[in-house]
Amino acid sequence: MPVQLTPIDRAKYAAARRAVDLVEDGMKVGLGTGSTAAWMVRALAERVRDEGLRLTCVPTSVRTGDLGRELGLKIVSLEEAGWLDLTIDGTDEFDADLTLIKGGGGAHLMEKIVATASDRMVVITDASKEVKTLGHFPLPVEVIPFGWQASRMLIEELLNAMDVMGTSARLRMNGERPFVTDQGNHILDLALGRIGNPRQLSLALNQVPGVVENGLFIDICDAVVIGYGDGRVEMRDIASGTVEHERIVFEEPDNIFKDL
């Protein structure tokens, strides 16, 4: 039965297909987490099957690692791989400077470590994630379980001195229990509305006792690939200042998405 994709899913797939064209034989590649990154993992596995690419892949979450293994990718830890050539990941928001908010899937700690251990980070997304000013999407902050309430109070107090619109920090839940990251931590989602100075906020948050890492990615992303539902893709490289436009030709859904 053909799989009927929404325009957003087609946009994500188009961006993923373009991004995996950047992968070359012999590379060590970081694999992001989330719905858009899942399209990328599938597209990358398709290239490995069809072209015989020899890749070493480092996942940013348990679920991405499980998907990669299921699709036949060589999955190793970052410790085993060492330095990476390229990381491809999604984002929850991005601005003109390619500053990101990540962590909607609860994996921003591993995502940030893997991205910064790479020569290059490329973000894949659809056009709806682009914003003039970050902050509409809640900013995730990973905290250790011990004393998380105290960490939350300190964060909310800190936010009063920051250039933001909101100051509430809510514990992320998974049903009736707190959400637990792959590292065994909790996440506080900050409803900020607007982040006027992401760099200042990131530095301040990471000074709060109990905070492990926040979801602001600053000076980490090198390029963004934006997909559209009709197959168009736009690739912006912040280092070179170039913008490229292409169109991805979709195969028959029965062939591309038969394993979904």
> Which residue among the candidates 51, 93, 111, 156 is catalytic per the annotation?
111
92 is in an annotated binding site: yes
Q: Do the strands 139-143 and 211-214 form a parallel or antiparallel pair, or are they unpaired? A: antiparallel
105 is in an annotated binding site: yes
Q: Is 111 a catalytic residue?
A: yes
Q: Do the strands 168-171 and 186-191 form a parallel or antiparallel pair, or are they unpaired? A: antiparallel
89 is in an annotated binding site: yes
210 is in an annotated binding site: no
Is the Cβ–Cβ distance between 9 and 17 less than 8 Å? no
36 is in an annotated binding site: yes
Is the Cβ–Cβ distance between 83 and 139 less than 8 Å? no
104 is in an annotated binding site: yes
196 is in an annotated binding site: no
Q: Residue 203 contacts by C-beta under 8 Å, 6 or more apart in sequence? A: none
C-alpha–C-alpha distance, residues 23 and 25, integer Å:
7
Using DSSP, state whether 46 is helix, strand or coil.
Answer: helix
202 is in an annotated binding site: no
Residue 204 identity: A
Closest CA to 190 of 141, 122, 253: 141
Q: Tokens for 82?
A: 């060492």
91 is in an annotated binding site: yes
For tokens 């980490």, name the residue: 220
129 is in an annotated binding site: yes
227 is in an annotated binding site: no
Is the Cβ–Cβ distance between 12 and 252 less than 8 Å? no
Using DSSP, state whether 148 is helix, strand or coil.
Answer: helix
Active site residues: 111
Residues making up the binding site for substrate: 33-36, 89-92, 102-105, 129
Residues making up the binding site: 33-36, 89-92, 102-105, 129
